[in-house]
């Protein structure tokens, strides 16, 4: 039986994470590779958009658009004034995003540069569709009706022409009998599936649950069992993906056996036009297979380097059979992405897990991102002890719960065993909201959080806190309590990080079942539930204090001020999104390991003796003031920091003095002699323009000689 996997077309960041920069080349065409023949489809999609002829054509479109009208979009104007610099920045950004050890600032700069490129494609080629580096095209995949109506049209599916040209020939050449679609339904994977269905009417199409942090088909299985429209495209849904179950499906199809003997499956009986669901319990044989840790490399093995901080990050689920051991939070449905019959309470086989980690370290891995939902401190203590006992040197991060059992002794053991980042769900610093969430035992106090943070910080372990804003019933005072607590922690312990999530109502949570008890007056379904393909729904309340857009502004501003003060005031890449991408790349573990392992450099203060040179990545744009004839100003855009500001021509001349490296003293003297000796005294020039150079130094308009920072 010929099998074929369908992989969704998605973001560039995910592609760089799983494939690597070397695979993103327009020369790397899709070729027949068995069931994995379409694995490089997303690489090819982005390679097409990054090929130099395509980029040059895009530059021409921008020039034509603004040939006879002014451009007041700073990043677009900077491109118009120096397109070659922008193209070189795109190349530089790709290299930065594919390297796991660049600094936060360089990673942000690279993300924003590629976001500018995606905005160009969105505005000049794909409008009204929006292309993004993290998700690909932003398309509605929550309503089966929209998916079915729009996925096979080039007008409504921006992926259609690419799939028709590059993926359909592979599908037809493969002539598959069985197609596996992994994860959340998407426009791209379903368009590929229908091309296969049109060519081969008997092909069996199986949608496979591939749970992520934010999505699982298991959460909506009751809706899937009634979604006949979805089953007009597919034949079955596998709710628990394991090798043995897939083999059972293949065996049944090869022998024309009924599928009712295959566990964990929803399927349609074609002769009866009826959706069926056999039992969902595992066989004893399958039960053994889920006992082994699951492992995924976030960077290809051949990318492993000897450099201490360039080693690949390994995502490791140490206890695949375990979910969150607390499982009492009213807002959370995370355990529902697993079959409840598979979830265990005991954390077993620690020796086996340590052996598995040792094997991976022998293969060159030094960084492990543990993706278990929450591991109790007593289990972590035993795990750490065994790593120390066997002298296994690793750097790792894990999720747990804020727990009084994180004693000084436990924290010390974890740090010695290589723990570098531990992630906790705090969610709020308002006791009233925490009680509504049922987040902690009744005797919980915020002082425990600070004790744990302090202990870990002193040992070189960073604590990350997850926060939820806009929880139903949350007031301005509740939110300020949370912000004050976070700000105080950050000021005391610089290693603390946090992310601010906007509350969404999980349809498998206790809150969803009893929403009226939480002051929710309306659940906002995007479609009738029988067509619903999402996991979260919007909600509203008469007592809601902020619109969701206001919440986004609030969390962005707070995170920028307290975590990323070097960001521009209004970054195109929002701070909360920036953190999410850092986490998706597992960059935070690398950065935090470096934070404690390297001495923090003292901030360099500019003086008259500082030798400085103008950055090569600065663009000046001369613009006419809106509505005023013959009055111009200059806009400075920095492609490193993506900060821009307006100034007069004199200031640009001051910056240009440092095209050649010289001391600040020499530069100001030359500026005076060349431009201002007939207007001002040298003392006046120094008094007025030295502060301007200090600003330029802090904004990296001028920088230290021989520095790439």
Q: Please, what is the end-to-end C-alpha distance for the chain in angstroms?
A: 56
Asked if the model's pLDDT at residue 482 lies above 70, the reply is: yes
Token output for 654: 């001051």
Q: What CA–CA distance (Å, rounded) separates 171 from 3?
A: 11
Q: Which has the closest alpha carbon to 597: 418, 454, 392, 362?
A: 418
Q: Which has the closest alpha carbon to 185: 157, 216, 228, 153?
A: 216
β strands within 102-209, DSSP E: 131-132, 136-137, 178-182, 204-208
At residue 310, the pLDDT reads: 46
Asked if the model's pLDDT at residue 304 lies above 70, the reply is: no
- Return the sign of the alpha-carbon dihedral for residues 393, 396, 401, 404: positive
Mean of all residue pLDDT scores within the chain? 88
Q: Which has the closest alpha carbon to 141: 184, 104, 111, 197?
A: 184
What is the rounded average pLDDT of the residues 499-507? Answer: 94
3-state helix, strand and coil shares in percent for the chain, rounded to the nearest 5: 45, 15, 40
Residue 567: strand, helix, or coil: coil
Q: Enumerate residues 6+ apart whose C-beta is below 8 A from 115.
A: 132, 133, 572, 573
Q: What CA–CA distance (Å, rounded) separates 323 from 344?
A: 7
| Backbone φ and ψ of 135, nearest 5° | -120, -5
Architecture of the structural domain at 290-503+546-597: Alpha-Beta Barrel (3.20)
At residue 325, the pLDDT reads: 83
Q: Which own/partner contact pairs does 136-141 have at CB distance under 8 Å and 24+ positions apart?
A: 136/8, 136/9, 136/10, 136/11, 136/42, 136/45, 136/188, 137/187, 139/186, 139/187, 140/526, 141/184, 141/185, 141/186, 141/187, 141/533, 141/534
> 183-217: per-residue pLDDT in tens?
889 999 999 999 999 999 999 999 998 877 778 99
> 316-365: per-residue pLDDT in tens?
888 877 888 888 999 998 888 776 555 566 788 899 999 999 998 988 88
| Backbone φ and ψ of 76, nearest 5° | -70, -40
Nearest 10 degrees: Cα torsion 603, 606, 610, 616: 80
Strand partners, 265: 238
What is the rounded average pLDDT of the residues 477-482? Answer: 96
At residue 2, the pLDDT reads: 95
At residue 297, the pLDDT reads: 53
Alpha carbon separation from 4 to 33, 438, 531 (Å, rounded): 10, 45, 26
Strand partners, 537: 505
At residue 57, the pLDDT reads: 96
At residue 280, the pLDDT reads: 56
At residue 180, the pLDDT reads: 96
Q: What CA–CA distance (Å, rounded) separates 436 from 431?
A: 9
pLDDT band for position 278 (50/70/90)? Answer: confident
Asked if the model's pLDDT at residue 296 lies above 80, the reply is: no
Q: Which own/partner contact pairs does 84-88 have at CB distance under 8 Å and 24+ positions apart?
A: 85/617, 85/619, 85/639, 86/59, 86/116, 86/639, 87/52, 87/55, 87/56, 87/59
Asked if the model's pLDDT at residue 684 lies above 50, the reply is: yes
> 26-61: per-residue pLDDT in tens?
777 889 999 999 999 999 999 999 999 999 999 999
Other C-beta atoms within 10 Å of 55: how many?
A: 19
What is the rounded average pLDDT of the residues 286-310? Answer: 46
At residue 487, the pLDDT reads: 97
pTM: 0.90
At residue 543, the pLDDT reads: 81
Asked if the model's pLDDT at residue 639 lies above 80, the reply is: yes
At residue 605, the pLDDT reads: 82
- 504 with 562: CB under 8 angstroms? no
> 425-454: per-residue pLDDT in tens?
999 999 999 999 999 999 999 999 999 999
At residue 598, the pLDDT reads: 53
At residue 302, the pLDDT reads: 43
At residue 266, the pLDDT reads: 94
Q: What CA–CA distance (Å, rounded) separates 343 from 321?
A: 5
- Return the sign of the alpha-carbon dihedral for residues 317, 323, 329, 331: positive
Angle between helices 408-416 and 377-389 (to 10 degrees): 40
Q: Which stretch of DSSP H or E encloses residue 236? A: strand 236-238
Asked if the model's pLDDT at residue 615 lies above 70, the reply is: yes
Asked if the model's pLDDT at residue 307 lies above 50, the reply is: no
At residue 21, the pLDDT reads: 64
What would you report as the CA-atom Rg of the chain, rounded to the nearest whole angstrom?
28
Q: Enumerate residues 6+ apart whose C-beta is below 8 A from 619.
A: 78, 81, 82, 85, 636, 637, 639
pLDDT band for position 19 (50/70/90)? Answer: low
Report residue 577 CA to chain centroid gap: 7
- Return the sign of the alpha-carbon dihedral for residues 313, 314, 318, 319: positive
> What residue segments make up the domains of the chain, in order of their start?
1-40+139-282, 51-131, 290-503+546-597, 611-704
Asked if the model's pLDDT at residue 599 lies above 70, the reply is: no
């Amino acid at each position: 039986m010929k099998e074929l996997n369908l992989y969704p077309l998605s973001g560039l960041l995910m592609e760089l994470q799983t494939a690597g920069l070397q695979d993103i080349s327009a020369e790397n065409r899709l070729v027949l590779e068995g069931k994995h023949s379409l694995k490089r489809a997303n690489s090819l999609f982005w390679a097409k958009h990054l090929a130099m002829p395509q980029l040059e054509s895009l530059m021409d479109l921008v020039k034509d658009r603004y040939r006879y009208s002014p451009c007041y979009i700073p990043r677009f104007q900077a491109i118009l004034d120096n397109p070659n610099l922008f193209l070189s920045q795109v190349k530089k950004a790709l290299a930065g995003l594919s390297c796991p050890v660049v600094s936060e600032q360089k990673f942000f700069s690279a993300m924003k540069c590629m976001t500018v490129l995606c905005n160009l494609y969105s505005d000049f080629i794909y409008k009204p569709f929006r292309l993004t580096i993290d998700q690909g095209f932003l398309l509605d995949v929550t309503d089966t009706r929209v998916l079915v109506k729009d996925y096979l049209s080039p007008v409504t599916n921006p992926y259609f022409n690419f799939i028709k040209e590059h993926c359909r020939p592979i599908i037809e050449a493969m002539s598959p009998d069985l197609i596996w679609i992994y994860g959340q339904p998407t426009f791209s994977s379903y368009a590929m599936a229908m091309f296969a269905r049109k060519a081969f009417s008997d092909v069996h199409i199986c949608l496979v649950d591939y749970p992520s942090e934010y999505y699982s088909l298991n959460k909506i299985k009751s809706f899937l069992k009634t979604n006949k429209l979805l089953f007009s495209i597919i034949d079955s849904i596998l709710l628990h993906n394991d090798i043995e179950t897939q083999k059972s499906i293949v065996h049944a199809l090869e022998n024309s056996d009924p599928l009712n003997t295959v566990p964990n499956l929803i399927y349609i009986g074609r002769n009866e036009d009826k959706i069926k669901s056999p039992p969902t319990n595992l066989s004893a044989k399958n039960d053994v297979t889920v006992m082994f840790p699951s492992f995924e490399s976030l960077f290809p093995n051949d990318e492993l380097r000897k450099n201490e901080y360039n080693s690949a990050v390994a995502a490791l689920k140490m206890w695949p059979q375990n979910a969150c051991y607390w499982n009492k939070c009213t807002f959370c449905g995370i355990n529902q992405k697993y079959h409840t019959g598979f979830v265990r309470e005991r954390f077993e086989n620690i020796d086996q897990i340590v052996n598995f980690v040792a094997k991976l370290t022998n293969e060159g891995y030094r960084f492990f991102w543990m993706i278990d939902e929450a591991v109790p401190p007593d289990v972590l203590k035993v795990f750490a002890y065994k790593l120390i006992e066997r002298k296994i040197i690793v750097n790792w991060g894990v999720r747990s719960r804020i727990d009084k059992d994180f004693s000084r002794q436990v924290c010390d053991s974890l740090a010695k065993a290589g723990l570098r980042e531990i992630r906790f769900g705090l969610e709020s610093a308002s006791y009233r909201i925490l009680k509504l969430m049922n987040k902690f035992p009744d005797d919980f106090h915020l002082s425990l959080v600070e004790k744990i943070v302090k202990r870990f910080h002193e040992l070189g372990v960073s604590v990350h806190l997850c926060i939820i804003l806009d929880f139903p019933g949350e007031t301005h005072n509740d939110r300020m309590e949370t912000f004050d607590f976070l700000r105080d922690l950050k000021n005391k312990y610089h290693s603390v990080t946090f992310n601010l999530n906007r509350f969404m109502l999980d349809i498998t949570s206790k809150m969803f079942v009893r929403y009226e008890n939480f002051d929710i007056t309306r659940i906002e379904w995007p479609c009738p539930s029988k067509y619903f393909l999402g996991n979260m729904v919007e909600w509203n309340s008469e007592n809601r204090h902020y619109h969701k857009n206001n919440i986004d502004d609030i969390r962005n501003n707070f995170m920028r001020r307290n975590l990323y003060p070097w960001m521009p005031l209004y970054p195109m890449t929002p701070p909360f999104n920036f953190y999410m991408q850092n986490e998706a790349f597992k960059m935070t573990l690398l950065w935090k390991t470096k934070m404690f392992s390297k001495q923090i450099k003292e901030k360099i203060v500019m003086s008259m003796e500082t030798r400085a040179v103008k950055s090569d990545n600065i663009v000046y744009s001369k613009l006419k003031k809106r509505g005023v004839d013959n009055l111009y100003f200059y806009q400075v855009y920095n492609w490193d920091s993506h900060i821009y500001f307006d100034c007069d021509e004199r200031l640009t001349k001051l910056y240009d003095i440092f095209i050649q490296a010289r001391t600040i003293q020499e530069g100001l003297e030359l500026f005076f002699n060349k431009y201002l000796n007939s207007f001002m005294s040298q003392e006046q020039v120094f008094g007025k323009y030295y502060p301007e150079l200090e600003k330029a130094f802090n904004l990296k308009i001028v920088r230290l000689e021989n520095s790439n920072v």
